[in-house]
Amino acid sequence: MTAVAHTSYGALRGEANSAGAGGDVVVFRGVPYAAAPTGERRWRPPQPPPGWAGVRAADTFGAIAPQDISTERLTKRGLTMSEDCLTLNIWTPAVDDQRRPVLVFLHGGGQTQGHGSAPLLDGSRLARRGDIVVVTLNFRLGVLGTLYAPDRHGAGSTNLALRDQRHALQWVRDEIGAFGGDSAAITVAGQSSGAVAIAALLAGGCDLFDRAILQSGGLERVRSTAAASAVAEQILSTGAFTRGGEPDVEQILAAQRGIDTGFVPPQGPFHPCIDGDVIDAHPLVVARTRDLPAIPILAGTTRDEWRIFDSALDEDIFTEQYVLDRAQALAGPDHDADAVVAMYRADHPTMREAAGAMVTDYHFTAPTEQFVRAHAGRGNAVFRYELQWPSPRAGLGACHDSCLALVFGNVDAVPALAGNDGAARQMSEAVQDRWLEFVRGAEPWQRYDGAGGATMLLGSETAIARGHRTEQLAVWEGRYPAYE
């Protein structure tokens, strides 16, 4: 079965997809939302895609953005990689005039990895269960999406990934009615660096969506102009850019690999930056000092975000001195590192777990809480959560990325993240039901009203908590760079 949608650029033919969705949905893959950012358009803002005659097949995912991934993995997943990557994917219960709520999802990956066609992000189950339209997309990554070099590439060349995302959101606003979606009911959601991007878009005043969901965002990672300039200087001093002419993709990726991404504290050399154009101040500063777009926000983190990253380290690394040094690096000179370690050790049986919990709070939980606290303080609806559902893999707990399988209902895609048994599927349905309430415009649980306010704990026992971990979060208050 196929269906045809008529956009401003031409007609598209999608195909039915019933796998695991409880009924057919129609999926449109590889839909161009912008012209190829190649040649003279490489360092330029996205431009409208060219139109086409006849009916264009939308049955193949578009090329993913250039990133470090082996040819073998690409082939195994049936994917290609190219700079010509500005496409999106749409799952809809039907191509009709029902005007369903729309969920646009921005993938994570540290702004250097990922794509909207990942199995975890398959929108079939979510679209069918919620009777909504689900959209995922690709956008420029790494150097090609974030290089801060306005002196070299001119005005409009900065924060290209954010410009791509903004352009895609405009495309959705303009065209989603052709796919059974409601252009006046768009929720943008993002996980990890996708959530960072949403915070940056909000800080820049983007009004192309009506509600926002921020999942596991390291919101402190938006870079100062100086930090972005320093990364650009390193990139532009490599042979890829100094030998003359425009470098090819492999040369750019090689230059990108030479940048130290840091570990603890986490660094984000390819995240959005304060460019004075797309964004003029850090999202945490904007939220605190002036109005963001007055839309409802659902935001939160997993309980044990950082454990999956620490799992790569040997056990003998986590000595008392190592954990103390980590606490000092994170908390800064104004805090007693011994007291910070003691506080986290009181809640965690091992040094590894305590060390991971500190980074979880510093990088994910505390900046998210500060961002939404300020938004709620201006009278906006905020719904805060902590996902406590543990990975079945020993030692990971409720780790980073585990929310994806639950939200999209694809617990079978990567079972190690959230499990793939009856209990995991029930947890997924519970999470989906709350996300879908929010997407439909309802209030999924009690509003968060400031420090210590209502937080939904999502796990084997789901309940609202107040005063949840306020002592730990207070350690990181004011710790982030003042980018004013």
pLDDT tens digits, 299-309:
999 999 999 99
How many structural domains compose the chain? 1
Specify whether 192 is catalytic. yes
Q: Is the pLDDT of residue 334 over 90?
A: no
Of the candidates 221, 167, 207, which has an alpha carbon nearest to the alpha carbon of residue 47?
A: 167
Neighbours of 461 (CB within 10 A): 7
Looking up residue 287, the CATH number of its domain turns out to be 3.40.50.1820
Q: Is the pLDDT of residue 449 over 50?
A: yes
Catalytic residue among 282, 363, 400, 468: 400
Q: Which pLDDT value is given to residue 244?
A: 84
263 domain residue, yes or no: yes
Neighbours of 58 (CB within 10 A): 25
Catalytic residue among 83, 175, 220, 305: 305
Higher pLDDT, 414 or 244: 414
Whether the CA torsion 416, 322, 340, 282 is positive or negative: it is negative
Q: Please tell me the least confidently modeled range out of 9-18, 205-214, 354-363, 438-447.
A: 9-18
Domain span at residue 136?
2-315+357-471
Q: Which two tokens stand for residue 348?
A: 């965690």
Q: Which two tokens stand for residue 58?
A: 């939308």
pLDDT band at 482 (very low <50, low <70, confident <90, very high): low
Neighbours of 95 (CB within 10 A): 20
Mean pLDDT throughout 216-221? 94
Return d(Cα 11, Cα 458) in angstroms, integer.
42
Q: Is the pLDDT of residue 370 over 90?
A: yes
Specify whether 315 is catalytic. no
Which amino acid is present at 200? A
351 domain residue, yes or no: no
Percent of the chain with pLDDT over 70: 98
Q: Let me know if 243 is exposed, middle or buried by CB neighbors in 10 A (0-12, 13-18, 19+).
A: exposed
347 domain residue, yes or no: no
| CB contact at 8 A, 11 and 178 | no
Mean pLDDT throughout 76-97? 95
Q: Which residues touch 271 (CB under 8 Å, ≥6 apart)? A: 110, 111, 146, 193, 196, 221, 222, 223
476 domain residue, yes or no: no
Q: Is the pLDDT of residue 78 over 50?
A: yes
pLDDT band at 266 (very low <50, low <70, confident <90, very high): confident
173-183 per-position pLDDT tens digit: 999 999 999 99
Which amino acid is present at 36? A
pTM over 0.75? The answer is yes
193 domain residue, yes or no: yes
447 domain residue, yes or no: yes
pLDDT band at 20 (very low <50, low <70, confident <90, very high): very low
Return d(Cα 396, Cα 385) in angstroms, integer.
19
Return d(Cα 352, Cα 381) in angstroms, integer.
36
339 domain residue, yes or no: no
Residue indicated by tokens 């990975």: 391
329 domain residue, yes or no: no
Return d(Cα 269, Cα 339) in angstroms, integer.
31
Catalytic residue among 124, 157, 192, 216: 192
SS3 413: coil
Specify whether 461 is catalytic. no
Counting every residue written for the chain, the total comes to 484
